[in-house]
Structure 1
Amino acid sequence: MQSSTTSIHEEERLKALKSLDILDSQPEKEYDELTELAAYICDAPIALISLIDKDRQWFKSKIGFDACETEREISFCTHAINQTNEIYEIEDASSHDLFKDNPFVIEKGVKFYAGTPLIHHNGHALGTICVIDYKPKSLTDKQKLALKNLANQVVKLFELRFKNENLREAQRNLKEKNTQLKNFAGVVSHDMKMPLANIIVTIDILKRKYNKVLDEAGFDYLNNLKQSAFKMSDYISNILTHYESDEITEKQSKENIDVHELLEDVIELLDVNDNCDINLPADNIQLKCNKTAIEQILLNLLGNSLKYNDKEKIIVDIDVSEDEHYYYFSVKDNGIGIPKEKQKDIFKLFSTVAEKDRRGQKGNGIGLSTVRKLINNLGGTIDVESEKGVYTKISFSIEKCS
């Protein structure tokens, strides 16, 4: 009767096996395809991907075999893992001194076994890919080579699975941190907006109550303080919108929209003076999309066209078209333009290009980042074309709703 064999590096081998986090995992098609191929190539009724744990052998994949695991001390594979990169072959186990009394031989009628070790990148054998038959036989050299090649593919699958699991864990952690950040942004915006509103109201009260006492410098201080409070409030609102953009695209329903009506509604929300011409698309197409998200995108892009414009007469041209799968939008203005070397950065969070807008205010670099996030969530892309001092054209697409 055989006795269980262990390597002098058994502790390190088991550590390598545990690090893969694959024991007792669910069946996976990729491994089953390799065992099927091993059985076919070696003309054997049974093929296994076996992993050798401390006291058991567990099968990641099995063809022609019912059990999910067996005791290690009666396994053929526990011997095979000591044959580094070599096929461990038993042509007739019933006449083999080590296996003739094995329960699989006596009770199941196993005669033939051939297995090749699955070698971890640190050199330890994790288990085997093996084939079993109920009649004595031997593998040809080509079959042995094929079994070794299959073993290499199994190990590559182990490594790929490990990397994918690590990536999924990193994504889960990132999603959790992002959720925490969203919640934090929501709490901060709520807790800060009310005090800021109180500051703004208090400044107006001070200006009215002490208008006969304050000199010009005093009024300037209060006006600067009020402007700073408005800027902080706007900054908080933009941060909150950025982190709520996923919810906007996921939860808002799709609507049938008249593009001219949509643009007219957006323009009404902007501070448009007589010195500005906003030209709507020549064709008034009908959209079916997330109205809230599109409004947010256009409001930001048109707002930028007005704010970052140094011309006496502001001109903005809007174009909308479609094909079978996408809607295409463009917003072109005759504003300050964007230097070529800065164009690749304008959609990054907190990235700003212009020192100040038309009113002398500095942007916070949140709006265009939010726009890109919304567009990406809608299955589209965004691009910029610009010449400094001449024009800027922002073009984007959104995927049509099915």
Structure 2
Amino acid sequence: MHFGGLVDSRVVIKPNLPIDVLGVVRAQDRLAVLHGLDALGTAADPDFDHISALAAAVMQAPIALVTLLDVERQWYKSSVGLDETEAATDTSFCAHAIAAGDKPMVVTDATADPRFSASPLVTGQHHVRFYAGAAIVVAGARIGTLCVLDRKPRASPPAAKLEQLTALAGLAASLFALKDATRNGASIAAALAREEKRRGIALDAASLASWAWDIHTDMIECDVRLSELFGLPRSNRLRARDILAAIDPRDVYQ
């Protein structure tokens, strides 16, 4: 009940997803991996578009999607044959697909399946009838699916076709992991660059030099400040013997 902007706390909204599927979707370890990828709601990516297009071709389907499932929304990281970029998780095929385990989930006629007959994809303008989806698994978590859809009922695809769909889902998973590692690597590199800049400023302020000595080669890797301190030609590589020769013997034994 709704009165003047207040919601009656006694009203319980029953989720459309079965409890077992809901448990998979809301699993904290799965959501941690998903959110850690920082891919939800991001712009379209041609690398994932290639995978979607290949899945559509392999399965001879007019629609193919790379989906990411959050608690409330299902995001389309890539889509072929569909203009939308998201949908509600509680009416999605893909929520059931990630709960189905390692094998692809196939729905031959959605109008005859009570799980999906009321889905907007089925009752709306897209008239989806057929679905086949394989889970995208990153770090052991099913974060979404690579799926294909058709507007007419179809028989279940041959096992070889489903294996190809699963392989493409694995490729999508590897791509997500690679892009995440690259993003994290860039962040680390930027942090190191900032730290190096701060260190340089501190050394300049203190008129200090930094160096590392390889006793096996007698070479010292250093900043040019070290060569300047000993009155040597400006260089980032010095021989230890040259530095020792530049030191006043009286300073060595003090």
Secondary structure at the aligned position of 2:65 is classed as: strand
Q: Distance in 2 between matches of 1:300 and 1:121?
A: 49
Map 1:230-379 → 2, pairs under 5 A = 238-239=224-225, 300=234, 347=237, 352-354=240-242, 356-357=244-245
Is residue 115–residue 128 contact of structure 1 (8 Å, CA) maintained in 2?
yes
Q: Distance in 2 between matches of 1:121 and 1:70?
A: 25
Measured after TM superposition, the shift of residue 120 of structure 1 is 2.5
CA RMSD across the alignment? 2.8
- Selected match of 2:42 from 22, 25, 28: 25
Equivalence for 1:88: 105
- TM-score, structure 1 normalization: 0.49
Measured after TM superposition, the shift of residue 64 of structure 1 is 1.2
Measured after TM superposition, the shift of residue 16 of structure 1 is 1.9
Structure 2: state its 5+ residue gaps. Answer: 1-14, 209-222, 250-254
Measured after TM superposition, the shift of residue 66 of structure 1 is 1.0
Measured after TM superposition, the shift of residue 117 of structure 1 is 0.8
Q: Distance in 1 between matches of 2:183 and 2:75?
A: 20
Is residue 92–residue 136 contact of structure 1 (8 Å, CA) maintained in 2?
yes
- Selected match of 1:172 from 177, 186, 190: 190
Equivalence for 1:37: 54
Measured after TM superposition, the shift of residue 355 of structure 1 is 6.2
Q: Distance in 1 between matches of 2:133 and 2:247?
A: 76
Structure 2 residue 20 is matched with structure 1 residue 7: no
The runs of 4+ residues in structure 1 deviating greater than 4 Å are 359-362
Equivalence for 1:147: 165
Q: 2:145 corresponds to which letter in structure 1? A: T
Measured after TM superposition, the shift of residue 143 of structure 1 is 1.2
> 1:110/1:46 Cα in 2 relative to 1: closer, same or farther (>3 Å)?
same
Equivalence for 1:135: 152
Measured after TM superposition, the shift of residue 147 of structure 1 is 0.3
- TM-score, structure 2 normalization: 0.75
Measured after TM superposition, the shift of residue 33 of structure 1 is 0.9
Report how many aligned residue pairs link the two structures: 213
Is residue 224–residue 234 contact of structure 2 (8 Å, CA) maintained in 1?
no
Structure 1: state its 5+ residue gaps. Answer: 193-236, 243-270, 272-298, 302-345, 363-402
Q: Distance in 2 between matches of 1:29 and 1:353?
A: 56
Is residue 111–residue 122 contact of structure 2 (8 Å, CA) maintained in 1?
yes
Equivalence for 1:156: 174
Is residue 45–residue 133 contact of structure 1 (8 Å, CA) maintained in 2?
yes
Secondary structure at the aligned position of 2:244 is classed as: coil
Q: 2:225 corresponds to which letter in structure 1? A: I
